[in-house]
Amino acid sequence: MTTPMLAGDRGLTAAEVAERVEAGAVNEAKRHTSRPLSAILRANFFTPLNAVIGVLAVIAIGFTALEEGFFEGLKQGLFAGVIIANIAIGTIQELRAKRTLDKLSLMNRSNAKVLRDGEVQEIAPNLIVRDDLVYVEPGDRIVVDGPVVESRNLEIDESLLTGEADPVAKAPGDEVRSGSFAVAGTGLFRAEQIGAESYAAKLVEEASKFTLARSELREGINRFIKLINWLIVPIALLLIVSQLADAANWRQIIVRTVAGIVPMIPEGLVLLTSVAFAVGVIRLGARHVLVQELPAIEGLARTDVLCLDKTGTLTEGGMDVDQIRPINGTDGEGVDTALAALAAADDSPNPTMQAVAAYLAENAVADPGWRVIDVMPFSSARKWSGTRFTDNGTWLLGAPDILLDHGDPVALEADMLAAQGMRVLALVTAESASTTGGVTGVKAQALVVLRQRLRETAAATLAYFKEQGVKVKIISGDSPAAVGAVAAQLGVEGAADTVDARRLPEDPEELADLLERATIFGRVKPHQKQAFVKALQSRGHTVAMTGDGVNDVLALKDADLGIAMGSGSAAARSVAQVVLLDDEFATLPHVVDEGRRVLGNIGRVSNLFLTKTVYAISLALFVAVGAITAWIMGNDPLPYPFLPIHQSLINLFTIGLPAFFLALAPTFERAKPNFVKRVLKFAIPAGICCAVPTFIVYLLSLAHDGTDSNLPQTTAGITLFCLALAALAITAKPYVWWKALLVCGCGGAFLLVLSVPVLADFYELSLPGVWNTTAAAVGVGSGVAALLFWLVVRPKHLAD
């Protein structure tokens, strides 16, 4: 790639680069696109839940082994298998997600351009050495710091550093800092602060970091765990104290107390949440979607307003010249010659100028070789570009409604063409023009009419979001008529009622009101896109923003979910949470589906785990109060009804196994707000409906069979299992064949354990007689009736 710069400096030589590499003066800013292996292992091995369960397992195994032998001790410690499962499954899935993220992030990485040996070369940012001359053009990120050596109207957007939206013109000697990006012009700067010395390692690379950003789902689960941690200690102490009356069987009391504490801990909930997110990353990776922050998967599922930038999202990146229409008898050959001169003078042509250059090449229009005084690059804020020539005056190419008076017949003709879905530019001459002082003495010479390439899948994707109740706002820097025409072709409602952003109200409340009503906006400037996002958020909307250009960065950064196109500018990709690497807008419904799968399924799984926690806490309280009451009244001690082995069996077939399948199942339900409230509304009544009948059946069986038999714990175990299975059956709705098979299979597995003597002996259960079966049936029937009333009938009644 030959350098387009005019500087005499040829950059570093290969030998000078080698010297700096040998000295370590290299931009060694590491790309943390995912957590390192050591961090993944630490996160999965050393967790508070694993520590608690591990300690309880050691206690159960040790005290059982002292009395009954090591094998019996291992049986009672089977619940610790969840630690192994947590570590293995969590680590494997996160490693798979890491590989996917690293691979996709490498695809998404933008190279830097450096001037070496007189040529501009593309290299990875980490290969920049000190004193390299870095070449930048519109859309390029600044990845190291240093002074500008040469500038051709170079303008840098430093909004990500300073918060100031206006681009800053850079002259030789001015500093550029990493974390900013070029929006207009071209330039060279010398790399002085590199690696850890620059902002790049902290600001630019952080945009692609594997991070667990703010997530309502994770925050809700963490709230549950904190609450449970506060409850476990006092309830466990109360349970221990209540069992001291039976001091002769102190070893068994400790083991049964462990059995009461273990089910209070939602040990698999955090695991399954992490697995669901990791699997989402892998599934979306297969569709060439780079998820730079894991909770972004749930972001689009919660979105109710989607702001679309027309160019690059609804239309494909390229354009084609449809026709060039000279104005008022202007010489057509002269117009072509002027356009060829403009194209030749533009060092960094945007897609529009590239389309013009391609058209001229097809028609064999050669560069006339006009001598250039000054080049004014295209800016999304100005919406025009131009060149001042030595002998041929000043020529500009840009938006007709910007360069021409509103009542100019040429501007009206341009509006008519734009209303047909064309993109129209005005080619004009001017007496004077500058990037800061404006334009004077404009005379229209021609209209350049371009065809935009609509994405084939855009109409179907927009229809999908309409069906899902997601409002779409199409915003663009093009003329309102052009944007409306494109929207009409795609079947968007309100395409005829376009809004010109140049006449938007400045009051935020009035702007928010307008955004609630209107759908199509043209002539939107970069800072206005940002204002749109903030105005919609002020009305309680969850806003997603798509874009591909440098003019979209501010809005992408402030949106609840920023979505960038893979072929877009490096700056846009760096601040977005999701990058569509193949530029396919039709992939967004898959991102929505994946987010809904995560949210819906983790909601179901949370219902199961928190139901278990509630019934475990309730049973522990009932037993503790009952035991203390019995001790006061001088009655026989009231032992906890279950051993750890019983809890392992019940939890396996009502929570552990089914929760894993439910967490990864497809679902298309729309995401609902108030995650914590919804889960508690299910878990508290479900847990109580499981605990109360179980405790009553246990008391009745103790009175009938006594403490020397294992029938009371078997009867209580059957009752609890059936009620927990009923809660699972309610949670699994809506039903498909595999869910029905899952619920029936779990029930059949428990029945098999009871029926096979070897398995029944292993789990210390017995086949119940008629009395116990009847008691369990009555308890299950009453509990299921209560479950159905509180979780199915009552919510529908309240809704009606």
Q: To the nearest 10°, report the CA torsion of 6, 8, 11, 13.
A: 130
Half-sphere exposure of 232 (CA within 13 A, CB side): 21
Separation between Cα atoms, residue 381 and residue 90, nearest integer Å: 48
Can you tell me whether residue 301 is helix, strand or coil? Answer: helix
In DSSP terms, 473 is beta-bridged to: 307
> What tokens does 650 get?
């019940």
- Given 132, 140, 157, 309, the catalytic residue: 309
Separation between Cα atoms, residue 694 and residue 650, nearest integer Å: 13
Separation between Cα atoms, residue 535 and residue 542, nearest integer Å: 11
Separation between Cα atoms, residue 121 and residue 112, nearest integer Å: 8
Can you tell me whether residue 182 is helix, strand or coil? Answer: strand
Integer-rounded Cα Rg, in Å, for the chain is: 34
Separation between Cα atoms, residue 474 and residue 455, nearest integer Å: 15
Active site residue 401: no
Q: What number of other Cβ atoms are within 10 A of residue 632's Cβ?
A: 9
In DSSP terms, 428 is beta-bridged to: 396, 444
> What tokens does 70 get?
């090591």
**Could you tell me where the DSSP H helices lie in 78-215?**
81-108, 159-162
Q: Of all helices (H) and strands (E), which one includes residue 223?
A: helix 216-242
Separation between Cα atoms, residue 747 and residue 766, nearest integer Å: 17
Burial class (CB in 10 A: 0-12, 13-18, 19+), 439: buried
In DSSP terms, 448 is beta-bridged to: 324, 425
Contact (CB, 8 A) for 536 and 512? yes
Q: 426, 430, 357: which is closest to 387 by C-alpha?
A: 430
**DSSP for 365-419, written as a single string:** -----PPEEEEE---TTT-EEEEEETTTEEEEEE-HHHHS-TT-HHHHHHHHHHT
> What tokens does 654 get?
């009502």
Can you tell me whether residue 148 is helix, strand or coil? Answer: strand
Separation between Cα atoms, residue 526 and residue 531, nearest integer Å: 9
Tell me how far CA of residue 262 lies from CA of 620, 643, 648, 722, 782, in angstroms: 11, 10, 9, 19, 26
**Could you tell me where the DSSP H helices lie in 644-793?**
644-651, 657-663, 675-705, 711-731, 737-755, 757-762, 770-788
Separation between Cα atoms, residue 260 and residue 618, nearest integer Å: 10
Angle at 751 between CA 750 and CA 753, to 5 degrees: 65
Give the orientation angle of helix 269-285 with respect to helix 81-108, to 10 degrees. 30
Q: What number of other Cβ atoms are within 10 A of residue 560's Cβ?
A: 21
Contact (CB, 8 A) for 641 and 243? no
The b-or-e profile of 330-348 (16+ CB within 10 A means b, else e) is: beeeebbbbbbbbbbbbbb
Cis peptide before 734 (omega within 30 of 0): yes
Tell me how far CA of residue 508 lies from CA of 306, 433, 514, 679, in angstroms: 19, 34, 10, 36
Give the orientation angle of helix 351-362 with respect to helix 332-345, to 10 degrees. 130
Q: Of all helices (H) and strands (E), which one includes residue 574?
A: helix 570-575
Q: Please identify every residue annotated as catalytic.
A: 309
